[in-house]
Amino acid sequence: MTTQSSNSDCVDPQTARQFYIDGRWSLPAMPASVTVINPATEAVVAEVACGSEQDVDRAVAAARAAFAGWSVSSPASRAHILGKIHELILERKEILAQAISLEMGAAISFARAMQVPLAAEHVRVARDILSTYRFQTLEGSTAIEREAIGVCGLITPWNWPLYQITAKVAPAIAAGCTVVLKPSELSPLSALLFAQIVHDAGLPPGVFNLVNGSGPEVGGAMAAHPDIDMISITGSNRAGALVAQAAAPTVKRVTQELGGKSPNLLLPDADFAKAVPAGVMSAFRNVGQSCSAPTRMIVPRDRLAQVEALAAATANAIIVGDPQSEETVLGPIANEAQFKRVQVMIDAGLSEGAKLVCGGPGRVAGHEVGFFTRPTVFSEVDPGMRIAQEEIFGPVLCIIAYDSIDEAVTIANDTVYGLGAHVQSQDLQLARAVASRIRSGQVLLNYPAWNPMAPFGGYKRSGNGREYGVHGFEEYLETKAIVGFGV
Coarse DSSP helix, strand, coil percentages of the chain, rounded to the nearest 5 percent: 40, 20, 40
Q: H-helix or E-strand containing 443?
A: strand 442-445
User: Is 416 in contact with 240 (CB distance < 8 Å)?
Assistant: no
User: Is 385 in contact with 283 (CB distance < 8 Å)?
Assistant: no
User: How far is Cα 353 from Cα 92, in angstroms, rounded to an integer?
Assistant: 48
Q: Is 291 a catalytic residue?
A: yes
What contacts 75, CB < 8 A, 6 or more positions away?
Answer: 130, 131, 133, 135, 174
Q: Kindly report the CA angle at 410 between 405 and 413, in degrees rounded to 5?
A: 125
Q: How far is CA 65 from CA 155, 174, 177, 203, 329, in A?
A: 21, 17, 12, 14, 46
Please count the helices (runs of H) and the strands (runs of E) in the chain: 17, 20
Per DSSP, 182 falls in state E
Q: How far is CA 384 from CA 212, 416, 423, 478, in A?
A: 39, 12, 21, 42
Q: Of 121, 217, 257, 467, which residue is the catalytic one?
A: 257
What contacts 313, CB < 8 A, 6 or more positions away?
Answer: 277
Q: Of 177, 291, 358, 398, which residue is the catalytic one?
A: 291
What amino acid positions are annotated as catalytic residues? Answer: 257, 291
